Amino acid sequence: MSESVSKSSSTRRTAHEDDDDDQTQRIDQKITDLLQDLTGRTVPPEWAARVRRQLLDGRDVDKPIAYITRALRERPRDYLPPSTPAAKPVPPVPPLGERDNGDTNRRGRALVEQALGRRAPAADGEA
């Protein structure tokens, strides 16, 4: 009979752990959603888990989602990952009719012809 008791205790403990995992996933998703809504930035799940630990570890919180919601609403930018430096801006591309790609096209055509074992066309456009 003690075997069935230990089995049921084990089942309860596992069910409780599953409940904790579900609660943790709900909290992490709430963090991701709130930061997206409040800042316009999406954070990866690992970052949401880090924020959850930062806010909840070592605290006895009765309503963790409400607690986290309040903290994030008060100072959302404090919980974002560090920014990466902005990439160099890409220069604007001129409209198709204004591009001068003649040299590039000739070099590319010559390389293709060479790879195919053909003679590249002459500069005047004749083969």
User: Is 70 exceeded by the pLDDT of residue 18?
Assistant: no
Q: Which residue has the tokens 């999406």?
A: 42
The tens digit of pLDDT for each residue in 73-85 reads 999 999 999 875 5
Other beta carbons less than 10 A from residue 113's beta carbon: 14
User: Is 80 exceeded by the pLDDT of residue 92?
Assistant: no
Stronger pLDDT, 89 or 46, i.e. the higher one: 46
Stretch 96-110: mean pLDDT, rounded?
76
pTM score of the predicted model: 0.53
Amino acid letter, 117: G
Strands (E), the chain: none
> Are the CB atoms for 48 and 32 separated by under 8 Å?
yes
Q: Which residue has the tokens 């409780």?
A: 16
The tens digit of pLDDT for each residue in 19-74 reads 578 899 999 999 999 999 999 988 999 999 999 999 999 999 999 999 999 999 99
Question: Cα 51–56–58 angle (5° rounding)?
Answer: 130
